[in-house]
Every structure is written in structure tokens, then in C-alpha cells.
Amino acid sequence: MDVSMTLWVTTVLGLCALIAVDFFIGLKPHDVSIKEAGIWTVVWIVLAALFGVGLLVAGESQASGEFFAGFITEKSLSVDNLFVFILIMAKFSVPTHLQQRVLLFGVLIALVLRAIFIAAGAAVIANFSWVFYIFGAFLIYTAWKLIQEARADEEEEDWEENRLLKSIEKKFGVSDQYEGTKLFIRKNGKKIMTPLMVVMLAIGTTDVLFAMDSIPAIFGLTQDPYIVFTANAFALMGLRQLYFLIGGLLRKLVHLSYGLSVILGFIGVKLVLHALHENGVHVPEISIPVSLSVICGVLVITTITSLIASKKQEQQKQAAAEATAGETEKDSIEA
């Protein structure tokens, strides 16, 4: 897709305007209701759909297909990342009325860092086609690792701060309590961070780790930096509302890791085939319509099987609880 500087500037300004609207909506700290989160989640998805349809109407059918495939992939990967955000919120005991502020600034940090990653990735791909082999191998390895973690059936119960965050805390110092929406305060004549600033940095920098698999994944679907950036932007901008909407439902998606591993493995294979094709090897290439069908199909199947499995688990737990209660009542009667 031939993207002029004017279109780039217009797109960035448009996204900034949307972010500004989102910011002013969440300017006043408050507990986000399911209704509010649901409405704005739909709004962001509709905006992304309109953007993709706009590309199609403009005669960029391939770019439109790549955008939808990239957006759905990034969105599905971000859902898995929300569980880590929940752990971070719990780790720092973030008050519920401040959580939306944390997510808003955290996502903004993540968007800026991802833009840097995308620019670097595009530059590398433009000059070194062999990098597709590395991206492909990395995604296949990540897919295998996700399967191993899912089969281990071990849930991550805590979150540890990364080295960058620890070094920032050590340099600036952190107050021992939240100070409303303040990010910095003065204590004994020294400017120190509040826990609110720390958790914002935690969300933003942790997303960089998530980008290590999501950025190569979307480059496996399209090498157009414009599509990569816009797909990431739309996927990230609705993340705050999605957090409040499905935060309590994440544990029900028990097969999500399996679904994501299939998607990442599929895109990894697609990257390797593309690299071989670029090197003159006659191998079949996977088209965008096929990629989009596989990604959507895997997510639908994963969601259905997850809900069925989680329902069975709840029934088993309830039966076990009833059995335990019955035994306890029986023992008390005999006594």
C-alpha cells in the first residue's frame, strides 16, 4: 500500500483525537461499570471495522484484509495479556476508581513503545529478508512454549517487577501510599513517585514484553508498516474498556493459551514459507483470506470449548462442595 506522508500525519492526528476523547471521558476517576465498558468496547471495535471497510472502499482490498487479520490477532493476544494486568493491579493494590487512569496512561506508553518497535522491525525487514526465518522460528517456539505452560496447568499467582522498573524506583523513590491522581509528590524536599506512577510504568513496560511475540506475528500477516501500526493502535486503544468488561471472565477462557499457540504457530509457518518464497524456493504461500479464516476459526472454537470446559469445572466444584457439606453434616449428627 502506497502511503503518503499526508495520510500518515492525518492518521496519527485522527488517532490522537480519539485518544483525547477517551482521555477526557475517563478524566474523572470513577469505578467503571459493565455497561460503560461494554458500550465503549463496542465503539472501539466499530471504529476499527469502519477503518478496515474504509480501506476496502478506497480500493485497497488486500490492505483491508491484512488490517482485519492483524487487528483480530493483536486483539486476541491482548486479551491474554489482560490477566497479567490484573495481577499488576493486585500487586500494587490499585484502588478501583484509579484503575482506568492507570490503564489509560499505561496503554499510551505501550503505544509509543510499540510504534518504535514497528519502525525498527520495518527497517530490518526492508533490508534483511532473512529476518523472516528468525521471526518465524521465534513464533513457533513461542507457540510450543504456550502449549507447555497450558499443559502444566499452573496459574501464575504473582507478578514480579522487571529490572527497568526496579531501577526507576530506586533512582526516584516511591511514596508508601496513593496521593489521588498525583504522579509525583515532594517528601523531605525530594521529588518522588507515587505508586500510581509506578503501576502506569509497570503496565507500559510489561506490554513491551508482550510485543515481542505480537509484533513478529502481525509482520507475518503484512509487511506494510501503516497496517501494522494502525492494527496495533486500534487493538490497544480499546484495551482499557475490555479490561473492565471481561476481567472477571478471563478465567473462563481456559483454552485461550491453546488457541493462541495455534495462531502463533500458524503465522510462524506462514513466515517461514514467505521467506523461502523470497529466496526463490517454490513453496505455497498462505493468502490473507486463508489466514483470516484460520485465525477467526481458531478463536471461535477456543471460546466455545473454553466455556464448555469452565462450566464442567464449576459443576464439579459445586458437586464436590455439596458432597463435603453432606459429609460434615453427617459427622455432626453422629457426634
- pLDDT at site 333: 64
pLDDT at 9: 92
CA–CA separation, 128 and 119 (whole Å): 14
Q: Distance between CA 178 and CA 190 in Å, rounded?
A: 17
Per DSSP, what are the bridge partners of residue 184?
193
State residue 135's pLDDT score.
Answer: 81
DSSP alpha helices (H): ranges in the chain? 5-25, 34-57, 61-91, 99-127, 131-152, 163-172, 195-219, 225-237, 239-246, 256-278, 288-334
SS3 313: helix
Q: CA–CA separation, 101 vs 95, rounded Å? A: 11
Burial classification of residue 316, based on how many CB atoms lie within 10 Å of its CB (0-12 exposed, 13-18 middle, 19 or more buried): exposed
Q: What is the DSSP letter of 174?
A: B
Do 101 and 233 meet the contact criterion of CB atoms below 8 Å apart? no
Amino acid making up residue 172: F
Contacts of 317 (CB under 8 A, 6+ apart): none
CB-facing half-sphere around the CA of 303: CA atoms within 13 A: 10
Q: Which residues of the chain have pLDDT under 50?
A: 156
CA angle 274, 279, 280 (to 5 degrees): 100
**How far, in Å, are 108, 169, 232, 278 from residue 121 at the CA level?**
20, 30, 14, 17
Q: Who's near 117: CB < 8 A, 6+ residues apart?
A: 208, 211, 215
pLDDT of residue 26: 63
pLDDT for the residue 331:
63
> Nearest 5°: CA angle at 69, between 68 and 75?
85
At 255, which amino acid appears?
H
C-alpha distance from residue 56 to each of 23, 49, 110 (Å) = 30, 11, 28
Q: What pLDDT does residue 68 have?
A: 93
CB 65 within 8 A of CB 205: no
CB atoms within 10 A of CB 324: 10
DSSP string, 273-307: HHHHHHTT-------HHHHHHHHHHHHHHHHHHHH
Q: How many beta carbons lie within 10 A of that of residue 107, not counting itself?
A: 24
Residues in the chain, overall count: 335
Query: In whole angstroms, what is the distance from residue 249 CA to residue 228 CA?
Result: 28
- Digit-coded pLDDT (tens) for 88-109: 887 788 888 888 878 877 778 7
CA angle 8, 82, 172 (to 5 degrees): 80
pTM score, whole prediction: 0.74
Hey, how many other C-beta atoms are within 10 angstroms of the C-beta on 37?
Answer: 20
- CA separation for the pair 44, 195 (Å, rounded): 29
